[in-house]
């Protein structure tokens, strides 16, 4: 299976790009969605998180209080590492299963920490790029989040210049929606060609 790893900083526009690939009939395996599933109510992941951080990490309905957890892990490096050591293997196993099961000529793996984790085998790295100032503005508006929290999240991710060094392909999302979609459409055609070449080499 030909796999394109899709990543970019918070607020960069990964969802818009993912949805355009889905429009073309391509399966998008979303690491964020899987990350939520492995800590859903009743899951082993959530039980371990609750045992570690205490019941104050839960909302009244028994689900994870993501904002409370976010405040802890982006202020405490050791707690962030603990959480990642628990959730990353669970997420990785589920991602691999979904990629193997995906129909179609290629699959998109959308993962915000694709480069930071270094655990995913992909054929191409596609980065959705946006200047940091614009990232902060968009993420704050979208999540109704505190600007300082968004800045902490950005600081925990690879710097923009470092991220771009890893790119095989880049979608520049600083322009109009039409410009972004045009870039994705062109990449889709390119990935169809590359996936076909890879398949014929097997």
The number of residues in the chain equals 202
- The response to whether 14 counts as a known ligand-binding position is yes
- The response to whether 15 counts as a known ligand-binding position is yes
DSSP helix/strand/coil, 11: coil
Cβ atoms of 107 and 25 within 8 Å: the answer is no
**Residue listed under structure tokens 């992909």:** 122
The b/e string for 93-129 (b: 16+ C-beta within 10 A; e otherwise) is ebbeebbeebeebbbbbbbbbbbeeeebebbbbbbbb
Among 87, 104, 86, residue whose Cα is nearest residue 31 = 87
- The response to whether 16 counts as a known ligand-binding position is yes
Neighbours of 55 (CB within 10 A): 8
Binding residues, by number, are 11-16
Binding residues for ATP, by number, are 11-16
């Amino acid at each position: 299976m030909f796999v394109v790893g899709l990543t970019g900083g918070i607020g960069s526009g990964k969802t818009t790009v993912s949805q355009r690939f889905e429009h073309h009939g391509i399966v998008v395996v979303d690491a964020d969605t899987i990350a939520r599933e492995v800590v859903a109510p009743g899951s082993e992941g959530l039980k371990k998180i609750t045992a570690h951080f205490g019941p104050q990490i839960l909302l009244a309905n028994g689900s994870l209080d993501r904002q409370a957890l976010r405040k802890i892990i982006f202020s405490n490096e050791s707690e962030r590492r603990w959480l990642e050591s628990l959730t990353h293997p669970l997420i990785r196993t589920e991602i691999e299963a979904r990629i193997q099961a995906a129909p179609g000529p290629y699959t998109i793996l959308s993962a915000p920490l694709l480069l930071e984790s270094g655990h995913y085998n992909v054929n191409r790295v596609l980065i959705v790029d946006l200047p940091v100032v614009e990232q902060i503005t968009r993420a704050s508006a979208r999540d109704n989040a505190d600007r300082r929290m968004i800045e902490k999240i950005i600081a925990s991710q690879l710097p923009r210049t470092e991220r771009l060094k890893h790119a095989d392909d880049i979608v520049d999302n600083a322009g109009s929606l039409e410009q972004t979609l045009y870039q994705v459409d062109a990449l889709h055609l390119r990935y169809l060609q590359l996936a076909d070449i890879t398949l014929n080499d097997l």
